Chain A
Amino acid sequence: MKKLMEGSEAMAEAAIAAGCRFFAGYPMTPFTELLEHFARRMPEVGGVCINAESELEAVGMAWGALATGARAATGSTGQGLSLMQESFSEITLAELPLVIFNMARGQQDYYQSTRGGGHGDYRHIVLAPADLAEAIELTQLAFHLADTWRNPVLVYGDYLTAHIQEAVEVDPLELGPVADKDWALDGSLGGTGRSRIISPLGFAKTGRRSPGIEQHLRTMTDKSRQIEAAEVRVEVGHVDDAQTVIVAFGTPGKFVRYVVNQLRADGERIGFVRPITLWPYPTDAVAAAAEGARTVGVFELCAGQMIDDVRLSVLGRAPVVGIGGISTDGSGFGVGPLLDAEIIRDRILALHRGETMPPLPDNERLEV
């Protein structure tokens, strides 16, 4: 049965439905409500939610919980995730299936999510839902993919994902089996000569074959290539004969889809590409859409980050133009006036018709 739920609640419920039993986080707008829901719900389902003393502790605790084989997650906004980056790198190299929620302030964390703010050659699978129904699905998928690949997965939400209320249903998804976690620690093998180690450094216990750090890092890179080949997800609309293609993800992707559908109904030859996985990036879908297009527009709520991946996909087939920009409310946490169907429509049409791009709308600043 559908129930009116806030996005944060829906995502927490989806995580619990997926078997997540450990969460640790530190309050920060607009992530706070997700932590609140986990704090309330985890004890009811036999899980644990710790209000960590900082983001550093939160990610460390999740690391420990994962090492026992539990499904575990942490999260924050991009600012808080900046603090966790060192651990993200190492958790990835230790092949632990962490799920991370970024309830981002706008789309300023595209680089952070897809390039990683941490050290080394690691990659995180990044899932970007456009609405709550998709957020529920992708949250569950996140735990499944994390276990499948033994690689962290980040769910990229935002202020609207976290706070919007929709009538939704959280049904546990049947996503297929994942391998037994024979690497998980329970302490039972001490003194048997078969004790286990979870290490980011490519170490094995004495007497066992150790890959060594170089081979370990190469194996991790090979895994990234396999994920790139297997896990791309994308929604594409009206691109076959499109003269203008708009690329957008997450909540802005939902707005762009709505506007492009309207413009199509008006007879404009415009299409859209909405990456659902930000890594691996839907390079082929963007390239195919750009084939024969006059222009590719990128609508994102930041100064222009995903546009790099669009350009790397389009590879000169068409000019790539940023039509989004920085837009926040007065607090800097929420949604700015640019996320508005009329304004987005005007910008897409300006690009499509080769007219001057309207100036970015300003928010009404809070009087301080």
Chain B
Amino acid sequence: MKLVGQAKPDLLLSQEHHMCPGCGEPMALRGYLEAISELGLTQRTIAVHGIGCYTSFSMTTDLDLVQALHGRAPSVATGIKRMRPDAIVFTLQGDGDMVNEGLQEVLHTAARGENITCVLLNNGVFGETGGHMTATTVLGQRTKNSLDGRDANYHGYPILIGDLIARLQGAAYVARGSVHNAAGFARTKRMFKRAFETQVRGEGFSFVEVLTMCPTGWFIPTTEGPSYMNETLGEVHIMGELKVDGVIRTTDELHEENIRKAAEIEAALARGGVDA
């Protein structure tokens, strides 16, 4: 039997990485690389990476790739796609990169209906600098510059970027997944596939936000990452498909679906396993 941790996606040049134990980003990487392979898009894909912990994937990813500046990946991807309309173009950014530094870039790109896919790894913290507040940090979350927890009166409110993008007419597919457990991973991988398929069909902008664990930046033990993620970030950045075929889904609909899915998983586990 092959253990999950031993599976190497085809599009990785090396399994070695320098991420912290318990980091969620390598799981997200695996999800979209497998989605690209399984959709047969390997030899027509161009990646654009932002700056964050995940930047180290730039060297290990076996795809043609542009290393962009912090915040600017969606515009770079736009230029690539306009000159190579047949290529599948996607960006990889963190919340600091996309929602802080480059918010206008991703919003304009989505509004333009640019036929690319943007991937956000959202852990609500600047992991690379050592755990500082970002625009997606949830209320109450402790970071190095919100020591007593994010306070709306002092620090302002978090941006729910997926919800914001879903409202834009040019966005065709918007989803928010997570990698805190196997079911979340499987669901997120399906989201990646739908996003890339949206691009293949030329339907416009597609967006997958992935909630990822950052035990280092959250100042918690590694093993508590998944539950912390689910209970803090997951309660605010609601998971699910936020927009499908151009139709926006309400937060209530997502909640109901999440409860139903959780029940299904419980039942399946009781029967002896979940098929990822």
Contact = CB atoms under 8 A, between A and B. Distances in A.
A216 to B, nearest CB: 12
B105 A68 contact: no
Interface residues on A, range: 35 or more
Contact of A207 (B13, B58, B67, B68): B13
Interface in A53-73: 53-54, 56-68, 70, 72
Contacts of A185: 46, 64-66, 80, 84
Contacts of A70: 83
A186 B59 contact: no
Interface string A183-208: 00111111111011111110111110
A193 B67 contact: no
A325 to B, nearest CB: 37
A24 B79 contact: yes
* Most B-side CB within 10 Å, residue of A57, A87, A200: A57
B227 to A, nearest CB: 33
A21 B75 contact: no
Contact of B43 (A50, A65, A94, A187): A187
B197 interface: no
Interface residues of B, number: 42
B83 A48 contact: yes
A90 B68 CA distance: 8
Interface in B38-77: 42-46, 48, 58-69, 72, 74-77
B81 to A, nearest CB: 8
A145 B216 CA distance: 47
Contacts of A48: 82-83
Closest 10 CB pairs of A and B: A64-B79, A60-B75, A199-B67, A65-B79, A61-B79, A64-B76, A185-B64, A64-B80, A191-B42, A206-B13
Interface of B: 10-11, 13-14, 16, 36-37, 42-46, 48, 58-69, 72, 74-84, 87-88, 104-105, 108
Interface of A: 21-22, 24, 48, 50, 52-54, 56-68, 70, 72, 86-87, 90, 94, 185-193, 195-201, 203-207, 210
